[in-house]
Every structure is written in C-alpha cells, then in structure tokens.
C-alpha cells in the first residue's frame, strides 16, 4: 500500500485577509444597491444576508450598518464576487442584473436567486463558483 504523506501544513498557507470595517461597510452599501438592481425584496435580502432582521436591513438601506460580523462579511464578499463575475460575463449590465432571476439548466432549472435563497453561505458560493468557471476563472 502506498504511504500517505503530508502535502502542506497550515503554516504553508498564507492567511486570508479579512475585510476591514470600512471595506465591510462599503460592501454592505454596494449590496443594498445590488439587491435593488436584481429586484430582490427586503425579505429575500435578509435571507441572502444570513437571516438579519427586516429592521436591521431597513437600517442598512438608511446607511446605518453597525457591526458586520465574519459570517456576514463572507456573504458580502461572495455577493460582490457574483456581481463582478456577472459584469465580466455580460457586456450589457441590464442583462447581467436580469440573469440572477432567469432559470438556469446548471441549477436544475432554478434561477441563481432561487439557489442563493437556500440561505446557506454555500448556496452563495455555488453561484459564485459557477460564474467564476463560466468566465474562465478556474
């Protein structure tokens, strides 16, 4: 039987920089605008943001973000990655915004929004990875 050997250790992998508070607030502002462009309801926005309350989302829409924790920063980062990939894949930005609600064979006929509304970070990551592969990012 072949011998198993360690390929790398955690020390070999550089740490991933977490967004600063200012960067997180900027992503939150962008997400509010993006949800408007995607035609996402306030309730859907709260699901995409990990179940924040409607009251908290109303404060976000008013420009008051408060503390943005690690989970929420990860969600925002994935949403920004999805937005960036769509802008690369589609030259027409209106087509890019509309794509999110269109049925897609890659998602079993569901739209990307329906997938993301599963509520898990992995649902956002699934859409992001699909788009990264489509744009040649893999």
**Contact between residue 93 and residue 87 where contact means Cβ atoms under 8 Å apart:** yes
pTM of the full predicted structure? 0.85
| pLDDT, greater one: 18 or 44 | 44
Over 41-68, what HEC string results? CHHHHHHHCCCCCHHHHHHHHCCCCCCC
Which of these ranges, 10-14, 23-27, 113-117, has the smallest mean pLDDT?
Answer: 10-14
Q: How is the chain split into domains, by residue range?
A: 20-134
State what percent of residues in the chain have pLDDT above 90: 80
pLDDT of residue 137: 53
Q: Rounded mean pLDDT of 133-137?
A: 78
- Confidence class for position 8, pLDDT limits 50, 70, 90: low
Which of these ranges, 14-28, 73-87, 89-103, has the smallest mean pLDDT?
Answer: 14-28
**Contact between residue 91 and residue 49 where contact means Cβ atoms under 8 Å apart:** no
CB crowding 67-95: b at 16 or more within 10 Å, else e? ebeeebbbbbbbbbbbbebbeeeeeeeee
Residue 13 has pLDDT above 80, yes or no: no
CA 47/CA 85 separation, integer angstroms: 21
pLDDT of residue 5: 74
Helix/strand/coil for 108: coil
Q: What is the mean pLDDT of the chain?
A: 91
């Amino acid at each position: 039987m072949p011998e198993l050997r360690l390929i790398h250790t955690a020390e070999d992998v550089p740490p991933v920089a977490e967004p600063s508070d200012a960067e997180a607030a900027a992503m939150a502002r962008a997400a509010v605008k993006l949800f408007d462009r995607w035609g996402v309801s306030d309730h859907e926005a709260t699901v995409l943001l990990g179940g924040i309350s409607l009251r908290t989302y109303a404060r976000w829409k008013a420009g008051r973000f408060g503390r943005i924790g690690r989970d929420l920063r990860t969600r925002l980062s994935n949403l920004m990655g999805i937005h960036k990939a769509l802008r690369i894949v589609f030259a027409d930005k209106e087509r890019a915004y509309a794509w999110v609600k269109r049925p897609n064979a890659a998602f079993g006929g569901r739209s990307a929004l329906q997938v993301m509304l599963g509520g898990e970070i992995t649902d956002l990551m699934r859409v992001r990875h699909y788009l990264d592969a489509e744009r040649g990012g893999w």
